[in-house]
Amino acid sequence: MSFWQKEIGIALLLFLAALVAGSLTGHVLLFVFLVMLGLWISQLFQISRFERWVSTGGRGKYPKATGIWEDIYYHVYRIKKNEKKRKKKLSKMIDQFRKSTEALPDAAVVLGAHDEIEWTNKAAREVLGLQQTDKGQRIPNLIRFPEFIRYLKSGHYDEAVMLPAPVDHSITLAVRIVKYGAGLRLLLAQDVTQLKKMERMRKDFVANVSHELRTPLTVLKGYLETMQDMDDGNSPLLTHSVQQMQGQTERMQHLVDDLLLLTRLETQQKKVQCVDIPALLNQICKESDALEIAAGRIELSLETDAHIVGEEQELRSAFTNLLGNALKYSSDDSKVKIRWHRSEDALMLDVEDQGEGIAAAEIPRITERFYRVEVKRSKKVNGTGLGLAIVKHVLMRHDAKLDIVSELGKGSRFSCCFPATRLCS
């Protein structure tokens, strides 16, 4: 029998007794009233005892009770016990998390909804110069680099921002913010000084080697031209050898030029101006049309006369590379369409060919330096594998992106999408 049934049973028995006693004495109502009063007082007593126990936090074992009250005490006691166990487990976990984040080599700062510091780890205090007492302070008041404040305000945290460490400007930090929870953000700062140094060494090395190769190449080219002039055609071997050497030096010249251009793109400051894109495209197409490979194949469609803010020489290189590829990687009688047009929020240059196309798996890789797709072709196609890397860099410097749509055997479309904010006419 459950406690409830037992409790109801007792109450019914008491009522029955009251009824019997009442009928015997002729005071039924009085007896029933007395039973109800008794039951009420006893419940009131139990409730007040329960309230006292709960109000003191339900500490210790519960008071002795009988019937349904024993059941209630037992359940509350069990809930409290489980709660205590859970709390203990949770605080142990939080403790472990704190210890591990405290030991992290990267700086970590928890920011509140108003950029106030909620928590910092040891590395954050060391490298960002924050103190334990800075809790509650707004971080832009403590880290005052304008690029950091811009990054913090922007709300776009996909990429990291590079900053000198506030405590030592020779240290470079890659600072990144990660959003989590309701309005909370985690700021992470990693020391990338060594990486930056290696990157600079790589750039310097490529720039120096490319630069140093220019002089010997010019000398070689000069001698080869002289040899060609002197060749009277009596020795086919000599004629062939000179031609081969000229082809290879030309290839090397392209490689060196492309590497130097890439280095310039990586290191030089941008010189921006308002570039007349229709005029530039007209010029590029005219120059290309004069080449044997392109004669009569290019269709230029200028749907807008929009000019954009940019660097003309860089844009010329990028567009020439895209057009050159479209011509190179398609048959000599197919058309190549160039379209300069405007959408709602972008200015687009599409270069479309009906050539060999690119396999979907290769598309993410073709903008990597020196990456060339291995395809068996009827004709040999020369290239350095640097053209699209140059295009990607130039577009990056113009806040633009490259979209590639391609189907094997059908053709490709390379679209340069410039944000409408670049419009200057």
Residues at the contact surface with ligand ADP, assessed by CB under 6 A: 321, 325-326, 329, 353, 355-356, 358, 366, 371-373, 383-389, 412
Nearer to ligand ADP, 129 or 385 (CB): 385
**Residue 369 exposed, middle or buried by CB count within 10 Å (0-12, 13-18, 19+):** middle
Give CA–CA dist 251/233, Å, rounded: 24
Q: Which H/E stretch holds residue 406?
A: strand 401-407
CB of 293 to ligand ADP, least distance (A): 13
CB of 346 to ligand ADP, least distance (A): 21
Nearer to ligand ADP, 22 or 324 (CB): 324
Q: What is the DSSP string of 72-115?
A: HHHHHHHHHHHHHHHHHHHHHHHHHHHHHHHT-SSEEEEE-TTS
Q: Which residue has the tokens 């007082």?
A: 41
Nearer to ligand ADP, 301 or 421 (CB): 301
Strand pairing class (346-353; 411-419)? antiparallel
CB of 306 to ligand ADP, least distance (A): 24
* Cβ-proximal residues to 186 (8 Å cutoff; 6+ apart), any chain: 108, 109, 110, 111, 177, 178, 180
Nearer to ligand ADP, 112 or 383 (CB): 383
First to last CA, the chain: 90
CB 320 within 8 A of CB 280: no
CB of 373 to ligand ADP, least distance (A): 3
Nearer to ligand ADP, 225 or 299 (CB): 299
CB of 300 to ligand ADP, least distance (A): 17
Nearer to ligand ADP, 294 or 366 (CB): 366
CB of 266 to ligand ADP, least distance (A): 16
